[in-house]
């Protein structure tokens, strides 16, 4: 089963916690045991899993990416958004999360984030729910 939802990112660079949206897809699927693949079909947005308790962690991740991939470096891509492409590749475009008892299996402090690097835009998130074989 494949489901999708959209996220309005509302800033040039932002990490948006989509854990509850993905959990809602799992709930609606009725699958109690399996895996959820969470994918973004974009080249300047990514998906990652990290701490959702202290917002300073997200701020530090974004600041670190900024230092690693500065806006003012020399890039070839004529569209002018190469830093966004590079950061999206560093984060990756897909995460797989196990489902147990109808819930995403995440650590106490973990959340699933859509990472926007070239917003604001409306982004699509595709979730494939794969039940365990009977």
Binding stretches for Zn ion (CB under 5 A): 79, 81
Cβ–Cβ < 8 Å for 80, 23: no
Would you say 67 or 76 has its CB closer to Zn ion? Answer: 76
Would you say 60 or 79 has its CB closer to Zn ion? Answer: 79
State the nearest-atom distance from the C-beta of 54 to Zn ion, in Å: 32
State the nearest-atom distance from the C-beta of 43 to Zn ion, in Å: 7
Would you say 71 or 79 has its CB closer to Zn ion? Answer: 79
Nearest by Cα to 114 from 60, 54, 62, 69: 62
Return left, alpha or beta for 25; rule: phi > 0 is left, psi -120 to 50 is alpha, else beta.
alpha
Cβ–Cβ < 8 Å for 93, 20: no
State the nearest-atom distance from the C-beta of 74 to Zn ion, in Å: 16
Would you say 30 or 120 has its CB closer to Zn ion? Answer: 120
Select the residue whose beta carbon is closest to Zn ion and give its number.
79
The residues near 13 (Cβ < 8 Å, ≥ 6 apart) are 62, 66, 116, 117, 119
State the nearest-atom distance from the C-beta of 16 to Zn ion, in Å: 21
């Amino acid at each position: 089963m494949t489901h999708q939802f959209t996220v309005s990112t509302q800033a040039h660079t932002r990490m948006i916690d989509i854990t509850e949206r993905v959990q809602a897809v799992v709930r609606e699927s009725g699958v109690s045991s399996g895996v959820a693949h969470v994918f973004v079909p974009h080249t300047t947005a990514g998906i990652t899993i990290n701490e959702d308790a202290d917002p300073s962690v997200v701020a530090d991740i974004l600041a670190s990416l900024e230092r690693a991939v500065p806006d003012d470096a020399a890039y070839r891509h004529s569209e002018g958004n190469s830093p966004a492409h590079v950061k999206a590749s560093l984060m990756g475009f897909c995460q797989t999360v196990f489902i147990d008892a109808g819930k995403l299996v995440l650590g106490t402090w973990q959340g699933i984030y859509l990472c926007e690097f070239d917003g604001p835009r409306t982004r699509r998130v595709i979730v494939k729910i794969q039940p365990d074989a009977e």
